[in-house]
Amino acid sequence: MTTAPTQQTALPSSQVLPVGWQLRALDGPVPASIAGVVVEATVPGLVHTDLLTAGLIPDPFLDRNEHAVTWIGETDWEYSTTFEWAPDGNTRHDLVFDGLDTFATVVLNGATLGSTRNQHRTYRFGIDEHLREGVNEITVTFASPVREADRASLEIGYRPHTYSHPFNAVRKAACNFGWDWGLDAASSGIWKEARVEGWSGARLASVRPVTGVEGDRGTVAVHVDIERDGGEGDDEFILELSGCADASATVGAGATSATVEATVEDVQKWWPRGYGEQPLYDLDVTLRRDADVLAGRSLRIGFRTIEVVLEPDADGTSFEFVVNGERVWVRGANWIPDDAFVTRVNRERLAARLDQAEFANLNLLRIWGGGYYESDDFYDLCDERGILVWQDFLFACAAYAEDEPLWSEVEAEVRDNVTRIMPHPSLALWNGNNENIWGFEEWGWEKRVQGRTWGLGYYLDLLPRLVSELDPARSYTPASPWSGTTEIFANDVDHGSVHLWELWNRVDYPAYRDVHARFVAEFGWQGPATWSTITQSISDSPLTPESPGMIHHQKATDGNDKLTDGLVAHLPLPDDTEDWHWAMSLNQALAVTVAIEHQRSESPRCMGSVVWQLNDCWPVTSWAAVDGYGRAKPLLYALKHVFEDQLLTIEPRGAGLAAVAVNDSPSRWDEETVARRVRFDGTVLAEHRYQQARDARSAETTVLPDEIAVPGDIADELVVVESGGRRAFWFFAEYRDSALAAAELTVDTIAVDGGYAVTVKAGSLVRDLALLVDKIDPDAVVDDMLVTLLPGEQVTFTVTMTEKVALERFAQSDVLRTANQLVADWA
């Protein structure tokens, strides 16, 4: 137990420095209207956001304003503030920055404390020599990130990279320099908290709890690093645990590290969502000298075992997440920064995004290597919700020099972030990089690097060594995609994790069914942002798919051409812009549905599907399910359906069809199954009933008889399979080649608490019924979408919104959408 502290000379103190900061431009292509202007600055914050708040720049999210603000990344900037300080009895004082973006020089009272070159590190400067009683002045000068990246590229030598800036020459978020879904808006600023800390005797420099489970007993070994104040004498300290575990250890005189171990009886295991509960335990770590408390840290931990298993087998090499000894079928999405200006992302916004992840039945988010190590709030929320986190180290789509100063910067960055993130039970995997080994093998990098280092030493040496040292209970993979060894092509579908981009880039989405992967870590299909987001951010008149603003908000190379090529085999290309928007939104959802249904149907050969991507960072045509203003696209509803615990899907098998029942729930699913071949008018042409036992966490395949699988008229028939309230459809012909007629709909809308209930009854076959309620109110949300109805069936949608509207608005053709509109109007 912790001994109550007696009176001591000084208690640790912390003075946050959030107010009073000022910002001004220094050298660079600064517009005359801004040169010499001093702006009130927010810390944490960025230059872009401060200039926006001051009304000095246009919003780069709107129209083509991105071009009007690129000068910001080419300019040097200065932040300055003052703070008052009085002696507090502490022997040491540090100026701490949790994050500086990126090329900063820190000065206190005219004395240079140091310079930084890594956005992803915490910086601590001893300031006792320069600290004054009374008013103290801090200046932080930021060099242009664009010019610094160019300069670093020349100094260390060219390495291949994607896009226009050599982001791989510096340690700054790669996508901050622009991506095929992101702004070119290279930022500068004090992007995390700044504070003055006072302490005496010693402080806890790092705290790393390594947890495990042995039967019903939880184990925790807390490793700490200690910084001593350098005073006279080498005192002994006591390191104590309290909260969920009580234990203590003596820290010997002069020692700078220690470990204390404890057990927790009758521990409740932490599970991913869908597999169990997420109990979290409070753990307090205290460092004291005799009865004097010198430092403390409060953590929230969970007890579970987790590993990612790559093992050779008869089919190649597995890739499986195993939690508490149970294999988890991963239903995941890739995560990118939720705003191009990352300091605008707060806990409330993250919670809203994770609400959408849960709505989509996701159990894993992969934090992609071209962005950031996420905030503590992100990992806290994943802990609470049971969402597993796959964390890339920050290397993406480029070759990276292994020379100094980068090697040491990478090591310091990794030590900082592994130590910060590893206490979270949701953290499931550390991954070395995104696509870099694959890029070296297939993208022509080998000849371009001319024998120079390109990053393999990080992925096979430095990173695994640091993970083993700092977080030994976690799995590590060198790359994504990764086959398990450098002896096998990184993106081999039979081995490990794969990225599937040929289908979007060059083939078509039905060909997803020809790929038999073990684990799909990236794949996706583009679609536009929601209509309200487009009209809020683009003022083109007329607005067309190729009008200037629309094209500017399409960052992918030949993106619109790929959208068109991926549509016209399935649906006709509309000429009306709103119809084009609906067609492309629907086609995105259809493509991803085909892929995931196939991947889930191949369980357990395939053990995971991680779609690219959940979210966006600004309003853009992209692969996201949620657009840059946080609004759900039809794709999010498709993910909700296809990632449900129990899924029925109809898949081609050989020359016929098979019904696959995927039961990823903890209970058996033994309902009778009915398969019917039906005409579009609802006439049943053939019926087949069968009983099938579906164990928990299993997939069962039943080949359908020819009377069901072989059509008489491919244009006017479909197969329907139903079991236990689940349903699957198979259409023999593409939409555009079918006899799909105009939808006959009856709509009944009533006001309910919090919004409206909209009941739609079908008088004919209706495919992919949707309510695009953001056209009525940008903040409105509907509970479902993409519903197919047979003649005579109905569905009720619940719309959450505060705005009062005429009830008939929900029945108007721009809001109430179907695939029928696209086909019947074209025909």
Residues 17, 162 share a domain: yes
**Per-residue CA distances from 477 to 390, 431, 521, 540 (Å):** 10, 5, 12, 46
Task: For residues 144 and 97, state if they share a domain.
Answer: yes
pLDDT less than 70: residues of the chain: 1-11, 232-233, 826-827
CA pair distance 127, 109, nearest whole angstrom:
10
Measure Cα distances from 93 to 85, 126, 131, 286, 344 in Å. 11, 6, 8, 20, 30
617-619-621 Cα angle (round to 5): 100
> Does residue 160 share a domain with residue 84?
yes
**Nearest Cα to Cα of residue 92 among 124, 53, 68:** 124
| Helix intervals (H) in 631-772 | 634-642, 706-709
Which CATH number does the domain housing residue 137 bear? 2.60.120.260
List, in sequence order, the alpha helices (H) in 220-273: none
What is the rounded CA–CA span in Å between residue 723 and residue 738? 26
pTM (2 decimals)?
0.96
Question: How far is the C-alpha of 563 from the C-alpha of 568, rounded, in Å?
Answer: 9
The per-residue pLDDT for 4 is 35
d(CA 72, CA 48): 7
Token pair, residue 582, equals 């609906």
Q: Residue 393 domain-assigned?
A: no
113 within some domain: yes
Half-sphere CA count of 565, side-chain side, radius 13 A: 13
**Structure letter (DSSP) for residue 44:** S
Residue 146 counted as domain residue: yes
Distance of CA 524 to the CA centre of its chain: 14
Euclidean distance between CA atoms 223 and 210, whole angstroms: 8
Give the three-state DSSP class for 66: helix
Domain check: are 187 and 105 in the same one?
Answer: yes
- Does residue 227 share a domain with residue 181? no
Q: Is residue 821 part of a domain?
A: yes
d(CA 171, CA 395) in angstroms, rounded, equals 9
Contact 523, 500 (CB under 8 A): yes
What is the enclosing helix (H) or strand (E) of 49? helix 47-53
Tokens of 186: 């290279």
Check whether residue 24 and residue 170 sit in a common domain: yes
Query: What is the three-class DSSP state of 254?
Result: coil
CATH number for the domain that contains residue 297: 2.60.40.10
Are the C-beta atoms of residues 160 and 142 closer than 8 Å to each other?
A: no
Instruction: Report CA 699 to chain centroid distance, whole Å.
Output: 28
484 part of a folded domain:
no
> Is 698 contained in some domain?
yes
pLDDT attached to residue 3: 34
Question: Does residue 751 sit in the same domain as residue 704?
Answer: no
Task: List pLDDT tens digits, range 762-775.
Answer: 999 999 999 999 99
**What whole-number distance in Å separates Cα of residue 353 and Cα of residue 796?**
25
Instruction: Please enumerate in sequence order all residues whose Cβ is within 8 A of that of 595, keeping only pairs 6 or more positions apart, or say none.
Output: 500, 503, 509, 512, 520, 523, 609, 611
The alpha carbon dihedral of 594, 597, 601, 604 has a sign of: positive
Is 282 among the domain residues? yes
Same domain, 181 and 211: no
C-alpha span between 29 and 331 (Å, rounded): 47
By DSSP bridging, strand 123-126 and strand 111-115 are unpaired
| Statement to judge: residues 19 and 150 lie in one domain | yes
Q: Strands across the sheet with 257-264, in order?
A: 202-214, 217-228, 257-264
Residue 753 lies in a domain: yes
CATH of the domain at 777: 2.60.40
**Measuring CA to CA, which residue among 333, 299, 717, 305 is closest to residue 523?**
333
Q: List, as one string, the DSSP characters of 325-392.
A: TEEE-EEEEEE--SSSSGGG--HHHHHHHHHHHHHTT--EEEE-TTS-PPPHHHHHHHHHHT-EEEEE
The verdict on 38 and 130 lying in the same domain is yes
- pLDDT at residue 232 in the model: 60
Q: Are residues 115 and 190 in the same domain?
A: yes
Q: Kindly report the backbone phi and psi dihedral angles of residue 673, in degrees, each rounded to the nearest multiple of 5, phi listed first.
A: -115, 135
Domain boundary among 737, 771, 798: 737
The number of domains in the chain is 4
What is the predicted pLDDT for the residue at 1? 30
**pLDDT tens readout for residues 135-165:** 999 999 999 999 999 999 999 999 999 998 9
Task: Point out the domain boundary residue: 301, 323, 342.
Answer: 301
Q: Torsion-angle region of residue 814: left (phi > 0), alpha (psi -120 to 50) or beta?
A: alpha
Instruction: Give pLDDT, residue 550.
Output: 98
DSSP 792: T
Q: Kind and range of the H or E element at 106?
A: strand 104-108
Residues of the domain holding 255: 201-301
Q: Which residues of 507-541 are buried (b: 16+ CB within 10 A; e: fewer)?
A: bbbbebbebebbbbbbbbbbbbbbbbbbbbbbebe
pLDDT for the residue 692:
82
Q: What percent of the chain has pLDDT over 90?
A: 95
Contact by Cβ (8 Å): 238, 248: yes
The whole-angstrom separation of Cα 588 and Cα 634 is: 8
Packed helices 577-601 and 634-642: angle between N→C axes, nearest 10 degrees = 20
Same domain membership, residue 190 and residue 47: yes
* Cβ contact 618:182 at 8 Å: yes
Domain final residue, candidates 693, 715, 737: 737
- Asked if 591 contacts 623 with a C-beta cutoff of 8 angstroms, the reply is no
